[in-house]
Copies of this chain bind each other. A is one copy, B any other.
């Protein structure tokens, strides 16, 4: 099954600007990409990076399409296919493999805040819409087409890494490239005032 991994090589992870320089955000996003590519490969699938611009020294095939993500995915949509976000370093090959093997017309891996972090599309009547509350949109598109839907219940798939508070999840739940990158950059877990966050040494 074709498995696309959308990746933004241009100014990635801008919401981490408070903690990481532009160069560091590039390196961290790249480390997460390497984790996801390894996870997809480990689950027995061949990933293709879907990027709006060229990717330096890519770890696998790259399809370049500079349109917005939804247009780029729909342009290459041919079931069966999967779309796996590149900022999910918590996902393991076991978790991903279980998701990609499910047989519903559409398999949705919800992300926090109404996002869609993983899609498996087995029917050509489906189309993606990543803008806004994509989870609601994908539920509606599938229902309107009369398609069967399987929604995953996975913490590891739901947690994409966008905000400073997300970094603690990488340190707590992953041992991949992204976690090692954070550790080498001096990040550590601190518990203060009942809240858990990261600090940089």
| Chain A contact residues, CB within 8 Å of chain B | 95, 110, 112-115, 131-133, 135-136, 152-159, 165, 168-169, 172-173, 189, 191, 195-197
A110 in contact with B173 given A155-B153, A158-B158, A189-B136 (CB within 8 Å): yes
- In the bound complex, residues from chain B placing their C-beta under 8 Å from that of A156 are 153
Q: Can you list 27 A-B contacts with CB-CB less than 8 angstroms, sorted by A residue number?
A: A95-B153, A110-B155, A110-B172, A110-B173, A112-B169, A113-B165, A113-B169, A113-B195, A114-B168, A114-B191, A114-B196, A132-B191, A132-B196, A133-B172, A133-B189, A133-B191, A133-B196, A135-B172, A136-B172, A136-B189, A152-B155, A153-B156, A154-B154, A155-B155, A155-B157, A155-B158, A158-B159
Q: With both chains docked as a complex, state the minimum distance between the C-beta of A186 and any C-beta of chain B, in angstroms.
A: 18
Closest to A162 in B: B195
Q: With both chains docked as a complex, state the minimum distance between the C-beta of A20 and any C-beta of chain B, in angstroms.
A: 19
17 extra interface residue pairs, beta carbon distance < 8 Å, beyond A110-B173, A155-B157 = A95-B153, A110-B172, A112-B159, A112-B169, A113-B195, A113-B196, A114-B172, A114-B196, A132-B191, A132-B196, A136-B189, A152-B155, A153-B155, A153-B156, A154-B154, A155-B158, A158-B159
